[in-house]
Structure 1
């Protein structure tokens, strides 16, 4: 494929985006319909609350439509919009003046204690449910790194923490999720 064809393919929604820049409301609705579900999922993982996630989604799309003139097709539209959603969520959390609660190492991980012969079910639904139990800071780092694809350097800039804090929070969150899944699996085994 030629470079021009690749660029065209990258910006498959260019006509819709250009119509939105001209103020076409149908195109705005179409763009919203194309991206709202994926952006809601990001927002929900960040906010951990359906109503707040819906509010953040609306606010992010409002900002995106206001800033649409600045979109220059240097990246794909989804990545550009995702950054707006993530920043909107982080700003909302900061506005609430909620200090991010990072996981404290409350468990001394001892491999000798691990004598379970089963592995928990690592499904999207189970992991998502386990994520809801994480402290806010750990949940955000876990979500940004594993689900949104940011690296630890980017996360440190986004959240205003050190890169090593991002790495350690990710590992602690991951360990917590595994423990939660094992506990949930163990409880399910006890009830059967």
Structure 2
């Protein structure tokens, strides 16, 4: 039996398809914060996330006829935001680090025996400091729920590269947070 998706905003989407600007603005207001956070987690930069968000909404409204309603509108829009953010990161190439180019920075880090408690703000700030390659894989895996096979397909890398980037991102994140606690 096939599951069906009920779209709670079907009337707004229908109006958006008719180029109703008020309906588009309403959809924007409903989804912009969540989509901005998704873009920010991937790009790591507020200005870049805002650019990605605007591009994603423009693209979504232009391609609204391709929305088949087999998934929620939010899921469909989120996929557009993720794709735009990934394209932006790849386009800008902000110190994108692939496994082949990584120095063994994580090996200098000696993990503590007991896990300390860190604040949400400490973790958010540390994620912003990660190199974009690390941040992208970490965000896609932890926050967006992709598995390593899907990440490898999205980024055009091997599955083992995705796993390695994720492990190194976690190690680097721990190192950044630990240094902040010890020296901050």
2:29 corresponds, among 8, 33, 38, to 33
State the TM-score, normalized to the length of structure 1: 0.84
Calculate the TM-score normalised by the size of structure 2: 0.88
Conserved in 1, the CA contact under 8 Å of 2:151 and 2:159?
A: yes
Q: How many residues align?
A: 180
What is the aligned partner in structure 1 of residue 83 from structure 2?
A: 87
Q: Which of structures 1 and 2 has the larger relative contact order (alpha carbons within 8 angstroms, sep 6+)? A: 2
Q: Distance in 1 between matches of 2:132 and 2:92?
A: 13
Indicate the structure (1 or 2) with the bigger Cα radius of gyration. Answer: 1
Match of 2:67 in 1: 71
Post-superposition Cα deviations, 1:99-151, rounded to whole Å, max 9, x if no partner, equal: 6213543232676x736x66141x33221111111111011000111011111
- What stretches of structure 2 of length at least 5 have no aligned partner? none
- 2:52 aligned with 1:56: yes
Q: Is 1:147 the equivalent of 2:143? A: yes
Q: How does 1:153-164 map to 2 (within 5 A)?
A: 153-164=149-160
Instruction: Report what 2:168 is aligned to.
Output: 172
Would you say 1:119 and 2:119 are equivalent positions?
no
CA deviation after TM superposition for structure 1 residue 181, in Å: 1.5
Equivalent residue in structure 2 for 1:14, among 5, 10, 17: 10
Runs of 4+ off more than 3 Å: none
